Chains A and B, each alone.
Chain A
Amino acid sequence: MTQIFAYITHNGGAADDTALELAAAAKKIDAGAAVTAVIAGSGSDLDAVCNEMAASYSEVWKIDNEAMAYPNAEIIRKALVSILPADGIVLLPHDTFGMDLGPGLSIKLDAAFVADVVDLEGVEGSTLKLVRQEFAGQVSTHVTCDISAGAVLNIRPGVSQPDESKSAGGQVVDKSGDAGDLSVVRKFLEIVEAEVGDVDITKSEVLVSVGRGIEDEDNIEIAQELAEAMGADLSCSRPIVDAKWLEKSRQVGTSGQTVKPKVYMAMGISGSFQHLGGIKGSPFMVAVNKNAKAPIYQVADVGIVADILEFIPELTEKIKDL
């Protein structure tokens, strides 16, 4: 069986949530596999993460270099190409880092690549069977991947149950000396923090959230009126911010805010994983959508098939009359 590697992202000396999810994903490829964690970074933060991961992975490959103090995907790719065997299976999280690293890494390793994997169904011969989604989750696909020359797999965050067993008792192996030439022509400069808006939706208990189904900037008002009648705050999905109909600080999702309300009203939102990734703490979720098959109904508690442009004003009136 080919060797399996899990690339561990980390921040401030702590491994990301995806670290233990990748351990679980690896087990779905090969239940008996001894999985190696690969961790790049620098200094004491890196050591802390390596030690933490040794409990969950049978081996931890540490790559320590000042150039990797910030995870610049171009630098890390070079190091990985020097260190990894050509035909291994490499697991990455499908987040903004994994999206930056994975596709190019697969080319340089001459390995197959599969993006945004939501489930793994095991190996037969040299064929790995996977599950993906297309069209923002409206349909799923079974995908086969020829792993005879190795593979890079980007695994969707949050879909694998983390492997919390911490029973690996692994050892840390220092691979820093094998990283090779790390010079690149994309230089990291700085992080610009997100702007703070007029409302902090991360503190809201009740959110009325609008998506592309609101159709027009002028219709934002009806959602605002519903939010006021309910004593809720107004939030939205990404296309509403892209269109500049609401401020970025009101965007719920992986590239926006992470919210933890008690009640979440998803109005004309399809339910992409990047949107749902910003909703934590299992709120009571109401989804109103005109498409009876919208993916949001799979995660919502209550679903209503309706045109929000008609439904919202009627609901607002009723609530005002209470």
Chain B
Amino acid sequence: MEILVCVKRVPDTSENEIEVGSDGQDIDRDDLVYSVNEWDNYAVEEAIQIVDKVGGKVTVVTVGDDESEEVLRREMAMGANEGILLSDDAFESSDGKGIAAILKAAVEKGSYDLIMTGAQADAGAGQVGGMLAAMLDQPYASLVNSIEVIDDKKLKVGREIEGGNQEMNEIQMPCVLSIQTGINEPRYVGIRGIRKVASVDIPVLGASDLGIDSGSVGNAGASVKVQDYFVPVFGDGAEMLEGSTEEIIDKLIELLKAQGGLK
């Protein structure tokens, strides 16, 4: 089975506190630690496990800048066989549709039975997978948390729905699936693994290689644009307990007693 997994390089929220930059036009990107989007890492692991079972090849692809190459290498160290970097100044500030259109052009240069994306990335959109599927006229299932290969044309996939329930579907390939966390346990990638793939060639494709009209993607082609960033304010906010740890704990225990929190 030929599997393509779309991955994105994002600021790692477990390593960073995300703050609005001084001009409000972006988050403060100085000193951010980046990694592969959490959901995408599960997707790559799933692809590797499927290929281990039924044979085939896993390709990872990303739309990004030069630095995005590092996430492709990381996923190749995990076991993906090939990487493709889609990079062009014209791709900058694309909206979800733009990203999906760029990925579609790359998909059409290959021949994939199965395409996977993460359920969502750093902006919490969860849009690229469904858009890509519709552009390719392929069936789509989102929030997939189990995949069983039935034969070379069909998959049985579980979708995670509300309340921890699972919606089982049969889906024909070629298809696009967006992968939910928890579907597997992504393997650990050590520094040695990364070193092994350090010199593997990763092709870089731009707008003209992909036959994309520059005006249809990037900021020029975007119908959805982020105007500014700000710190959200909802509700009244918490009463912050301050003082020494002793004082804080005494106050907290008092409050918990009053609220019936201690039995």
Which residues in A have some Cβ–Cβ distance to B below 8 Å?
72-74, 95-97, 99-108, 112-116, 129, 132-146, 149, 184-195, 205-206, 212, 230-232, 238-239, 241-244, 248-249, 251, 254-258, 262-263, 265, 270, 284-287, 291, 293, 295, 297-306, 310-311, 314-315, 318-319, 322
B89 contacts the other chain (Cβ, under 8 Å)?
no
A141 and B260 contact, Cβ closer than 8 Å, known pairs A99-B126, A136-B13: no
Q: How far is the CB of B176 from chain A (nearest CB, A)?
A: 9
B223 and A146: CB pair below 8 A?
yes
- Collect the chain B residues with CB atoms within 8 Å of residue A133's CB: 124, 232
A251 touches B139 (CB 8 A): no
| Given contact pairs A263-B261, A265-B261, a sample of 11 additional A-B residue pairs in the complex whose CB atoms are under 8 Å apart | A96-B162, A107-B100, A135-B124, A139-B19, A145-B224, A146-B224, A195-B164, A284-B255, A286-B252, A286-B255, A306-B245
Question: In the assembly, what is the distance between CA of A205 and CA of B260, in Å?
Answer: 9
Write out, one digit per residue, whether chain B residues 241-259 have a CB within 8 A of any chain A CB (1) or not (0): 1000100111011011001
A187 to chain B, nearest CB (A): 5
Whether the pair A189, B164 counts as a contact (CB closer than 8 A) is no
* B133 contacts chain A at the CB level, 8 A cutoff: yes
Whether, in the assembled complex, B226 has its beta carbon less than 8 Å from a beta carbon of chain A, the answer is: yes
Q: Separation in Å of the B56 CB from the closest CB of chain A?
A: 21
**8 A/B residue pairs, CB under 8 Å, sorted by A:** A74-B140, A135-B122, A139-B230, A144-B225, A192-B165, A194-B163, A230-B256, A306-B245
Interface residues of B in 154-175 (CB under 8 A from A): 156, 158-172, 175
Interchain CB contact under 8 A, A74 and B240: no
Known: A143-B227, A186-B171, A284-B259. A255 touches B20 (CB 8 A): no
Q: Are B20 and A302 in contact (CB under 8 A)?
A: no
Closest chain-A Cβ to B58's Cβ sits at a distance in Å of 21
Q: Given A263-B256, A298-B235, is A242 in contact with B167 using a C-beta cutoff of 8 Å? A: no
Contact between A302 and B238, CB atoms less than 8 A apart: yes
- Establish whether residues B248 and A115, one from each chain, have CB atoms under 8 Å apart when the complex forms: no
If the complex has contacts A188-B169, A242-B182, are A295 and B232 also in contact, measured as CB distance less than 8 A? Answer: yes
Bound CA span A172–B131, Å: 31
Chain B residues within CB distance 8 Å of chain A: 11, 13-14, 17-20, 27, 96-97, 100, 119, 122-131, 133-135, 139-143, 156, 158-172, 175, 181-182, 185, 223-235, 237-241, 245, 248-250, 252-253, 255-256, 259-263
Main secondary structure of the interface of B (DSSP, over half): mixed
Residue numbers in A under 8 Å from B185 (CB-CB) = 243-244
Q: Which of A73, A132, A142 contacts B123 (CB 8 A)?
A: A132
Chain B residues with Cβ under 8 A from A103's Cβ?
96, 126-131, 134
Nearest A residue to B10 via CB reads A135
Q: A103-B131, A192-B166, A256-B164 are in contact. Are A303 and B238 (CB under 8 A)?
A: yes
Contact between A188 and B167, CB atoms less than 8 A apart: yes
For the complex formed, measure the closest distance between the CB of B77 and the CB atoms of chain A, giving whole angstroms: 21
Residue from the list A238, A258, A262 in contact with B261, Cβ < 8 A: A262
Q: Are A315 and B260 in contact (CB under 8 A)?
A: no
CA distance A239 to B39 in the complex (A): 11
Known contacts A189-B169, A263-B256; is A194 also within 8 Å of B164 by CB? yes
